[in-house]
Amino acid sequence: MRNANEANLTDAVLARLEGAKDPRFKKIMISLITHLHAVIRETELTEKEWFSAIQFLTSTGKQCDHRRQEYILLSDTLGVSMLVDAINHRKPDGATETTVLGPFYVSGAKDMPMWADIGGGAPGEPAYVSGRVLDVTGKPIPGAVLDVWQTDGEGFYDVQRDGGHEQYARGRFTTGADGRYGFRTVKPVSYPVPTDGPVGKMLLGMGRHPYRPAHVHAIVTAPDCERVATHLFVEGDEYLDSDAVFGVKHSLVVEFKAHPAGPAPDGGHSGVPFFAAEYDFRLVRYPAQLRAG
Ligand code: BEZ
Ligand code: FE
C-alpha cells in the first residue's frame, strides 16, 4: 500500500496482521493498534509530545532491574494491574477478594510457628494478627499456608533498607486442624510508592499523591483451593479512598483494635499496649473434576 494518510493508516496497519498465526495475539494486536491510533487522533498528538512519551517509556525501562520494576509500578498506578486482577479473579460471594501483589514480595520467607514474631526487631507498635483459613462454606482448611509481608512502623519494607538488611516483617505460617493462624508483628503504616523515577514524575504531573494505605500482604495457598494474593488494610487509614494503586476493597479493611498492656491474643501477657486484628480468609475450592485431574 502507498499513500498512507490520516484516514486510511489504521486500516493499513491492521491489514498487515492477516498473516498472524496465533489468533489470541492477533486479537490483542488489533485492539492495541486500534486504540493507540484513536488516542493519537483524539488528542491530535504533537511530534514533541510523542517524543516525550518515547523518552518516558525509555526511562521507565532504564529503571528496571532485579530490584526494581518501574513498568509494574506504571501498570499499578494506571489501574492496569487491578483491572487484570479483577478480570482474572472473579470470585463467588463470600470469598476473600484479591488485590495487587506489589514489588516487595520475596519468595522463600522463613517458616514460622503459630504466634511467632515476624517483626524481628523492626521499628513500630506491637500488633497481633490472627484468624482462620476457611472455605466459602465456612469449613476450616488445615494445612493452608499464609505467606505474609508488610512494612515496618516507619513505612519501609526490609528490602528497601540499605546494606542487605536482614529479612524482617515477613514469614510463612501453616494452619493446624482448626484452620487457625496467628502471628505477632508491628502495625503497618501508610507509605509512598517509589517516586524517584519516571512514574513519580507522572504522578506529580497528574496532581496525584503516591501513598498506599497501611496494609499486611498475604498470599494464601491450600490444597485443592484457588490461591489468593491479597492485603489486610488498616481501618481508619487516611489513604483508604485514594490508594495510589487502586487496590482497596471494602471487604479487606480490618480493625487494628488498640489494647492496653495485659492479656494478649496468643494467650500470654503483653507488658506494653498493642493492637489486635482478626480476619478469616475464605478460599474457593477447585471443582472436583479439576482436583481429580
Ligand atoms: C505494595 O503494596 O507493596 C505496592 C504495590 C504496588 C506498587 C508499589 C507497592
Ligand atoms: Fe505493600
Q: Could you list the pLDDT tens digit for every one of the 293 residues in the chain? A: 788 899 999 999 999 999 999 999 999 999 999 999 999 999 999 999 999 999 999 999 999 987 789 999 999 999 999 999 999 999 999 999 999 999 899 999 999 999 999 998 899 999 999 999 999 999 999 999 999 999 999 999 998 887 667 889 999 999 999 999 999 999 999 999 999 999 999 999 999 999 999 999 999 999 999 999 999 999 999 999 999 999 999 999 999 999 999 999 999 999 999 999 999 999 999 987 666 65
Q: How many CA atoms lie within 13 A of 36 on its CB side?
A: 13
Q: Report in angstroms the alpha-carbon separations of 101 from 61, 104, 105, 216, 284.
A: 20, 8, 7, 11, 19
| Residues with CB in 5 Å of ion ligand 2 | 102
Distance between CA atoms of residues 26 and 32, nearest Å: 10
Alpha carbon nearest to ligand 1 atom 4, residue: 102
Per-residue pLDDT at 164:
62
Distance between CA atoms of residues 46 and 40, nearest Å: 9
Per-residue pLDDT at 293:
55
Question: Residue 138 burial by CB count (10 A; 0-12/13-18/19+): exposed, middle or buried?
Answer: exposed
Ligand 1 neighbours (beta carbon < 6 A) = 73, 76, 100, 102-104, 193, 212, 245
**DSSP-H helix ranges across 63-182:** 70-77, 80-88
DSSP code, position 87: H
Nearest ligand to the C-alpha atom of residue 103: 1
231 CA closest ligand 1 atom index: 2
CA 53 to ligand 2 center in whole angstroms = 28
CA 211 to ligand 1 center in whole angstroms = 10
Which strands make up the sheet holding 215-221, listed edge to edge? 170-174, 145-150, 215-221, 228-234, 253-254
